[in-house]
Structure formats: structure tokens, C-alpha cells
Amino acid sequence: MKKMKKIMIWGSNLFLDVLFDLKKGYICTADNCSFKLSTKFIVDNFSMKSLSSEKASNMILKALKIDNQYNSAIIELGSVDMLNILKNNEKLDDFKNNLSQIIAALKYFEIKPYLVTLCPIDPIKYKLKYELDSSVDDIILIHKRINKVIKELASKYEVELIDDNKTISKNKYSYLSDDGNSINAYGHSLLEAMVSRKIV
């Protein structure tokens, strides 16, 4: 029997074990991407809502000292960093440097990184949700810049890119949750299919 691949996931949005429902808020569900992937791979999901690139960098290094026997690592960061940047608590270069360090560490242990872009957002709902002083134009700009960094690093370090932003943008309101910056059950099915096609 073919041995199942072992994957670690580090995310702050798309791979959380919750979905957003307008009436119920955030609810735990099995109908998400990480659960769907666990039927095909051995999955260790370290995702959390508060996972910035800086925190992820520190946690990944600690985790790899305990267990570095992974085939692949899905890195879906930027959501927390985006909010920090909009609140002037972080610079875009900080995100870039942290993500570079993560890629380097994974490559050192011969773990194949897969970088995931930020999913599309509804900037008006995003602004209201986080009570931001930033303009809608600024929110759109930072979102684009973070995705640009992710794509540039994927190209620079020759790692796989999962561009969910591009795919979901084609029909984003079918895949976005009511909060305007996370994905619904349809979005999770789409993401799972995208990841499964990459990791074979």
C-alpha cells in the first residue's frame, strides 16, 4: 500500500476549523478544507485566527525541532499581517522577511512549501468588521500588496503557489462567507480541490 503523505498546515483564515454564518457567527464544522484533506493525507493543522507571519515563523521552527518528517507544508499567512499593517502595527517588509524565513526553514528540512494567496475580500464588510480608520482603497491596496509578496517569493524560491485569490475572484460571492473575508462551504470544497491537485 502506498504510504500517505504527511502535511503540516499553517494558516490564519482558510484552514481554520470554523465557518462563518450570518445568524450563528463562527461555528465549528467538519465541512472544511483541512478535514477534507485529512481523508487523503496525514494532516497536522496548526492554523489559528491569531497566526501572524512572525508568530508562525517562531512556532514552525519549534515544531520542526520536534518532528520534521513532513513531505509538504501549506503556508496560508497574511490575514493577520494585513490587519496589523492597516493598523500601523507592522510593515509589509516584516511580512516578507518572516515568510522568507519560513520558506528557508522548510527547505532546509527538505519539506516542500506550498504558498497560498489571500482569498478575495469584500473591502466594505472588512472595514466594518474590524472598525478600521483605513479607507476602502487602502484596504484593497494592502490586500494586493500582500498577495504580490506571496507570488514574488513563490517565484524567487521556486515553490508551488496555490492562487486561490485568482480562482475565487472569478465568482467570489459564491465562495465568500457573510463576513466578507473568509470562505464558505463551497469555498472550502474549491480550495480542497485546488490543494489536492497540487499535492499528489
Which of 4-8, 42-46, 187-191 is the least confident region? 187-191
Range of the domain at 175: 6-198
Q: Please report whether residue 159 resides in a domain.
A: yes
What is the average pLDDT value for the chain, to the nearest integer? 87
Q: Mean pLDDT across the stretch 164-188? A: 83
Q: Mean pLDDT across the stretch 55-83? A: 94
Q: How far apart are the first and last CA of the chain?
A: 15
Q: Please report whether residue 20 resides in a domain.
A: yes
168, 176 Cβ separation under 8 angstroms: yes
Q: Mean pLDDT across the stretch 26-45? A: 69
Q: Please report whether residue 1 resides in a domain.
A: no
Residues of the chain with pLDDT > 70: what percent?
90
Structural domains in the chain (count):
1
pLDDT of residue 175: 85
Q: Residue 56: pLDDT above 90?
A: yes
Q: Residue with C-alpha cell 517562531?
A: 58
Q: Residue 162: pLDDT above 90?
A: yes
- Higher pLDDT among residues 20 and 153, named by residue: 153
pLDDT of residue 21: 52
pLDDT of residue 2: 59
- Angstrom CA distances, 97 to 93, 153, 191, stand at 6, 10, 26
25: left (phi over 0), alpha (psi -120 to 50) or beta: left
Q: Please report whether residue 118 resides in a domain.
A: yes
pLDDT of residue 123: 94
pLDDT band at 32 (very low <50, low <70, confident <90, very high): low
pLDDT of residue 132: 93
Give the 3-state DSSP-derived string for the chain, with helices as H, strands as E and coil as C: CCCCCEEEEEECCCCCCEEEECCCEEEECCCCHHHHHCCCCEEEECCCCCCCHHHHHHHHHHHHHHCCCCCEEEEECCHHHHHHHHCCCCCHHHHHHHHHHHHHHHHHCCCEEEEECCCCCCHHHHHHHCCCCCCHHHHHHHHHHHHHHHHHHHHHCCCEEECHHHHHHCCHHHHECCCCCCECHHHHHHHHHHHHHHCC
Q: Residue with C-alpha cell 512572525?
A: 54
Cα distance between residue 60 and residue 143, in whole Å: 24
pLDDT of residue 200: 67
Q: Mean pLDDT across the stretch 176-196? A: 82
pLDDT of residue 131: 92
115, 65 Cβ separation under 8 angstroms: no
Most confident of the ranges 8-22, 78-92, 181-195: 78-92
Query: The CATH number of the domain where 126 resides is what?
Result: 3.40.50.1110
Q: Residue 15: pLDDT above 70?
A: yes
